[in-house]
Amino acid sequence: MRGLRKLLIPAIAWFAVVPPLAEVDLDAVRAWREAHGFEVLKSFAELLAIPNTPAHPEALRATAEWARKELARRGAKAELLELPGAPPLVWARIDAPGTRRTLGFYVHYDGQPVDPASWTHPPFQPVLYTRAMESGGARREFPGPGEPIDPEWRIYARSSGDDKAPIAAMLAALDAMREQSAAPTANLVFLFEGEEETGSPNLGRFFETYRDRLDVDLWLICDGPAHQSRRPQLVFGVRGYSGIDLTVYGASRFLHSGHYGNWAPNPAWMLAELLATMRDDDGNVTIEGFYDSVEPLDAETRAAVAAVPGVETELKRELGLQRTEGGGASLIERIMLPSLNIRGMASATVGPTVRNIVPRTAEAAIDVRLVRGTNAEDLHDRIEAHIEKQGYTIVREDPDMQTRLAHPKLIKVVRRPGYPAVRTRIGDPVVAPIIAAAERAAGEPVVLMPTLGGSLPLYLFTEALGDPIVVVPIANHDDNQHAPDENLRLANLWYGIDLFAALFTMP
């Protein structure tokens, strides 16, 4: 119904014929949202129902096309930018008369892979709950017109938080502004990427190819979660990312554990022994020099770190944790350091298909988070030096028999590509109006976070395009992003609508 109605309205550039209002009336935006919230949710559910992982390349493209059409319907000049072998970029532009200021809005429309068996509902069939499932929320129908909407409701689907939420919020903000005839105060450039979750392998090439469309003063990076205190936050940097995969080898074939166990080397046990040498009891990395190149924090950053609200007690209760790693350090203190995390480990099988064998291999997939001063190559070198010190010979491919017979301990190390960390100075003058807009939308001071723990390829913006960045997250921190049962709390979607309306019209 709604889609049909919108198709009947010509997509005129309404904002070109009304005068820009410095600062939209946020009360009017909220009134619009109360009247039209059910439509916002219906449209968001339509977007969430399109599978957006690399396993569904056609649907991934359909996700981009959906966003392009919706932007075009709201009067933007909107295109899919193409490069061979890459999902398209959604690019759109809305020109504001009488200003040379241009703001860029980056979102990614792809999502993390899904393992449907681990989800309560199919990941691409959005469902509404009255609260988070783990807090006793109950499933309910989507609301109809006039039905009140509880901001504590949650919508469950892959990418509901990471990172389709800002798309829904921006579209709704434009609709609310149109209702008020409030035009943007800056030229707006929208850029939605389709392979952020696989490390943005083509974003740099896109930037080279389409640089003339990407001339902005500041990039607003719309991704990541709000602060765990539920207070909105602005984030001035992200950690860099890389990974390293380890495979330890036993015998060249599976062996009966009774006939050969404890004589043939067990690669699962070897891997456990190796991993155990890499950290101390508190989870601090003991690989030589791992923290050496971390840039010391300046006074301003230290002050911001100290001002970050403490959420540890509540988080630990929520997560069922009696203790944390780092010997009692705060979460933000840990995030200011590079990390080494086992994200997956496997050797033969456990559970119903377990067999009485000595495994052939044991694997650990490790992700490394980088901070300002550290780089992936250097940390990879240090990790490999540590592994060699434990008596291992490193190979890059599965070893042949000759290689197996020549070395007592063999390990395959695969270095995963990644990117460096980025951090914008909180005192940069370009940042001040962003803070003001966010605080208008939030109705309270927002958290100023020196860096996000997660990673985004922001070095491309700062290095290839030369523009500063500020991250403006809207999703709830407990949205299960990257995991089964990902969800978005509606209060966060509502904040996103207010935030984008305020940013689009900031003085």
For the segment 235-274, give every residue that binds a copy of itself (CB under 8 A).
Answer: 239, 241, 245, 249-266, 268-269, 271-273
- The CB-of-253 to a copy of itself minimum distance in angstroms stands at 7
According to CB under 8 A, which residues from 436 to 465 bind a copy of itself?
452-455
Q: How far is the CB of 111 from a copy of itself (least distance, A)?
A: 11
What secondary structure does DSSP assign to 133-180, as a single string? Answer: GGGT--EEPPP-TT----TT-EEESTTTTTTSHHHHHHHHHHHHHHHH
Binding piece for a copy of itself, criterion CB under 8 A, among 60-68, 147-155, 276-284, 462-470: 276-284
Restricted to residues 372-401, the positions that interact with a copy of itself (CB under 8 A) are 399, 401
**Structure-token pair, residue 327:** 């010997």
C-beta of 31: minimal distance to a copy of itself in Å? 34
CB closer to a copy of itself, 89 vs 340: 340
If binding is defined by CB under 8 A, does position 225 make contact with a copy of itself?
Answer: yes
Kindly identify the residues of this chain, within the stretch 302-361, that bind a copy of itself according to CB under 8 A: 316-317, 319-326, 329, 331, 334-335, 337, 339-359
In the complex, least distance from residue 7 CB atom to a copy of itself, rounded to whole angstroms: 38
Beta bridge partners of residue 107, listed in sequence order: 192
Q: Closer CB to a copy of itself, residue 181 or residue 252?
A: 252
Calculate the CA 491 to chain-centre distance. Answer: 19
Closer residue to a copy of itself in complex, CB, 97/113: 113
Other residues' Cβ atoms within 10 Å of the Cβ of residue 377: 10
The secondary structure of 442-461 as a DSSP string is HTSPPEEES-EEEE--THII
CB nearer to a copy of itself: pick between 359 and 433: 359
Nearest-approach distance from CB 314 to a copy of itself, in angstroms: 12
Measured between alpha carbons, how far apart are the two ends of the chain, in Å? 36
What Å distances lie between residue 285 and 277, 280, 379, CA to CA? Answer: 9, 7, 11
Residue-wise over 407-420: b if at least 16 C-beta within 10 A, else e? eebbbbbebbebbb
Q: What is the 3-state secondary structure (H, E, C) of 113-135?
A: CCCHHHCCCCCCCCEEECCCHHH
Nearer CB in complex with a copy of itself: 261/309? 261
Kindly tell me which residue out of 365, 413, 430, 465 binds a copy of itself, with binding defined by CB under 8 A. 365
Residue 85 is a binding residue for a copy of itself (CB under 8 A):
no
Q: Would you count residue 131 as binding a copy of itself (CB under 8 A)? A: no
Using CA atoms, how far apart are residues 351 and 300, in angstroms rounded to an integer? 51
Residues 192-211 contacting a copy of itself, CB under 8 A: none
Of 101-120, binders to a copy of itself (CB under 8 A) are 112-113, 115
CB of 413 to a copy of itself, least distance (A): 14
> Quick one: which segment of 17-25, 290-298, 374-382, 403-411 binds a copy of itself (CB under 8 A)?
403-411
The residue among 279, 277, 253 whose CA lies nearest residue 267 is: 253
Sign, CA dihedral 344-350-351-352, equals: positive
Q: Is 499 exposed, middle or buried (0-12, 13-18, 19+ CB in 10 A)?
A: buried
Q: How far is Cα 342 from Cα 449, in angstroms, rounded to an integer? A: 26
Which candidate, 175, 187, 165, places its Cα nearest to that of 77?
187
Residue 8 amino acid letter: L
Q: In angstroms, what is the minimal distance from the CB of 310 to a copy of itself?
A: 13
Residue 389: what residue type? K
Residues in the interface with a copy of itself (CB under 8 A) total 96
Q: In the bound complex, what is the minimum distance in angstroms from residue 335's beta carbon to a copy of itself?
A: 8
- Quick one: 178 or 412, whose CB is closer to a copy of itself? 412
Question: Which residue in 276, 296, 313, 466 binds a copy of itself (CB under 8 A)?
Answer: 276
3-state DSSP assignment of residue 245: strand
Selected from 47, 176, 364, 503, the binder of a copy of itself by CB under 8 A is: 364
408 near a copy of itself (CB under 8 A):
yes
How far is the C-alpha of 60 from the C-alpha of 124, rounded, in Å? 12
- Nearest to a copy of itself of 98, 322 (CB atom): 322
- Specify the residue for token string 């599978």: 51
Does 95 participate in binding a copy of itself (rule CB under 8 A)? Answer: no
Binding to a copy of itself (CB under 8 A) within 279-298 occurs at: 279, 283
Query: Of the two residues 138 and 401, which places its CB atom closer to a copy of itself in the complex?
Result: 401
Among 36, 164, 213, 369, the residue binding a copy of itself under the rule CB under 8 A is 369
Query: CB of residue 254 vs a copy of itself: minimum separation in angstroms?
Result: 3
Q: Do residues 269 and 361 lie in contact, with contact meaning Cβ atoms separated by under 8 Å?
A: no
**Shortest distance, position 51 Cβ to a copy of itself, whole Å:** 15
Residue owning tokens 């890499």? 278
The least distance separating a copy of itself from the CB of residue 163, rounded to whole angstroms, comes to 12
Rounded to whole angstroms, the Cα distance separating 500 from 35 reads: 18
Residue closer to a copy of itself (CB basis): 112 or 505: 112
Amino acid occupying residue 337: L
Contact criterion met (CB below 8 Å) for 356 and 387: no
Nearest distance from C-beta of residue 403 to a copy of itself, angstroms? 8
